[in-house]
Amino acid sequence: MVEPMVVELAEQPYVAVTELVTMQTFGLIANRIPEVFAWLDARGLEPVGAPFFRFNVIDMERELEVEAGVRVVSAVAGGGDVVCGILPAGRYVFATHVGHPDELVGVTTEVFEWAAGQGLVFDAWETQAGKRWGCRLTVSKTDPAVEPDMTKWESELLFRLAD
């Protein structure tokens, strides 16, 4: 993992699909990324950057509410299962990881430890369903069709900080 850092991001519109998954069924949402790209293509819209997973609510023992999405230039009306949202502006902890996606839980723990050492507070709070995040993203920088070796996949982790 590259040393985490704090970055400032502007708000960004995106389109996505949402699923309730477990850690064991995460593939259900990951497999829907092509659906988002097909939806954009059918409307002549271009994605901005790599696809991402937005973790809205996390209870690692039970269920996660996750969006599979991609940024777009400007807000558009959703349709069907595809919704349009806004990734909020703000300060984010940013880290890059190259390696198998199974390693991301451990990498995330390292990022949390680093942030705690810096006195940083995340935009997240406990709910009955689990921890709700103002914005928590894992950006998939590697196209599996181009690089099938999962140990070489690059991921960016972004965690919005509280104001």
Domains in the chain, number: 1
Please report, for residues 29, 138, 144, the alpha-carbon distance to residue 160 in angstroms, rounded to integers and kept in the order given.
22, 12, 27
State the pairing for strand pair 154-160/90-98. Answer: antiparallel
Amino acid identity at 76: V
147: containing domain:
5-160
Give the predicted TM-score (pTM) of the model: 0.95
Task: Tell me how far apart the alpha carbons of residues 62 and 59 are, in angstroms, rounded to a whole number.
Answer: 5
Residue-wise pLDDT tens digits, 10-61: 999 999 999 999 989 999 999 999 999 999 999 999 999 999 999 999 999 9
Domain of 76, CATH number, reads 3.20.80.10
Q: What is the pLDDT of residue 144?
A: 86
Amino acid identity at 90: G
Q: What is the pLDDT of residue 145?
A: 86
Quickly state the pLDDT bin for 163 (edges 50, 70, 90). confident
